[in-house]
Copies of this chain bind each other. A is one copy, B any other.
Amino acid sequence: MALVVQKYGGTSVGNPERIKNVARRIIETQQAGHQVVTVVSAMSGVTDGLIKLAREVSHAPTEREMDVLLATGEQTTIALTAMAINAMGHKAVSLTGAQAGIVTDGFHTKAKIANITPKQLKQHLDDGCICIVAGFQGQTAEGKITTLGRGGSDLTAIAIASAIKADICQIYTDVDGVYTCDPRVVPDARKIEALSYDEMLEMASSGSKVMQSRSVEFAKKFGVVFEVRSSFNNNPGTIVKEETKGMEDVVVRGVSIERNQAKVTVLNVPDQPGIASKIFNTIAAANLTIDVIVQNISTAGTTDISFTLNKDDLPKAQAALDPVVREIGGGLSAQDGIAKLSVVGIGMRSHSGVAAKMFEALSRGGINIRMISTSEIKIAVIIDEAKINDAAKLAHEAFGLGA
């Protein structure tokens, strides 16, 4: 008998029929001899409907009240899912985030989990009940309702799995698992059987948006083994866990694509302390998320600093930087229509020549590299968006990732 935590997202519980389908899957898991805790999200569309209501009463809804409002979405799903299981003749109880013992800090709409006291949860499991827990929400030690921000339900599942020492945490989604590349781009992309937390993190931050990084980081920190799998079939998914010896044998685990990027370069920056911090403080104050940052060595006392960001944020970034650039006496160049291609794998730490192989592959396709950025287990290049599919196929093939 294993202790299993499952998580189903908004699409999987999007209407009463789908909720009944999820109920059947949960029951099957229990009948296979396991104890089951299932975390569910709000039914798809519900959260957007609530946000629309809030905007009708307030242009800038208070974050405290936004949390109270949005928490009703998941509360609705847990009640309906538990009812559906009960109607099929099995014992199930619903638990809100607060009832499941999820205690957070007080940062409304983006709270962090402080600790979990799963007393009620354990008691219900001991009573032979299936527990249906509301994802995305918690409460502060003082009893205020909070929500965890984007990807919050995954985080709830992984945090609960950690707190109750579950054997496995299954993240059900609308894809079969993590692939070596997006199968719509690279037809012979394969599902990855297992990968390390670090690889998953790099894949996620490189555009494979199966999960938010924060959930993977939490899993890594507390050693929670989880599996990404489909809620529409019974295929085994992708296991994400601590790095194991054999994992290093594969040099590159996968190829990630991120489209809709833009590049900003601050030109002729005086090569002196404090300038970079001035630029990026300005960006942070404008609440913009940036990705790759590149600075090369300086020539003639000045240098150029480039960074990428989502192309929708480009006008905001230009407006924010304009006074700073004028103050330091530099220039500003911006360009959209670019994309990021990354190859990821913990094996590349111990294998040289990965970068060379990648650049060679792109060169064969006549693809010009505009920026390069690397981490210990990732090489990312910025190229023209028009070439991204070709580039992905070439890299995928060069590292022998196909079926």
Binding site for B on A (CB under 8 A): 16, 19-20, 23, 50, 53-54, 56-62, 64-66, 68-69, 71-72, 75-76, 78-84, 86-87, 93-94, 96, 98-99, 120, 143, 145
Q: How far is the CB of A67 from chain B (nearest CB, A)?
A: 8
Copies in the complex: 2
Q: Smallest CB-CB separation from A73: which chain B residue?
A: B72
A86 touches B69 (CB 8 A): no
- Closest A-B pairs by Cβ, 6 of them: A58-B87, A16-B56, A69-B79, A72-B72, A68-B79, A57-B84
| Complex contacts, A78 vs chain B, CB 8 Å | 68
Contact B65 A69 (CB under 8 A): no
Verify B79–A75 contact, CB threshold 8 A: no
Are B143's CB and A99's CB within 8 A? Answer: yes
- B65 and A83 contact, CB distance less than 8 A: yes
Q: Are B68 and A86 in contact (CB under 8 A)?
A: no
Q: List 17 A-B contacts (CB under 8 A).
A: A16-B53, A16-B57, A54-B79, A54-B83, A57-B84, A58-B83, A60-B87, A61-B83, A61-B86, A62-B82, A62-B86, A65-B93, A66-B79, A66-B83, A69-B75, A99-B143, A120-B143
B76 touches A75 (CB 8 A): no
Whether A65 pairs with B53 at a CB distance below 8 angstroms is no
Closest Cβ–Cβ distance, residue A135 to chain B (whole Å): 15
Chain B residues with CB under 8 Å of A75's CB are 68-69, 71-72, 75
B86 touches A65 (CB 8 A): yes
Residues of chain B contacted by A66 (CB below 8 angstroms): 79, 83
Which of A68, A71, A72, A81 has most chain B Cβ within 10 Å?
A68
Q: CA of A96 to CA of B87 in the docked complex: distance in angstroms?
A: 28
Nearest residue, chain B, Cβ from A71: B75
Output the least CB separation between A110 and chain B (Å). Answer: 17
Within 8 Å CB of A19, what residues of B? 57
Distance from A352 Cβ to chain B, minimum over Cβ atoms (Å): 57
| Structural contact, B99 and A80, CB atoms closer than 8 A | no
Known: A68-B82, A69-B79, A72-B72. 19 other contacts (CB 8 A): A16-B56, A19-B57, A54-B80, A57-B80, A57-B83, A57-B87, A61-B83, A61-B87, A62-B83, A65-B94, A66-B79, A68-B79, A68-B96, A69-B75, A69-B80, A96-B145, A98-B143, A99-B143, A120-B143
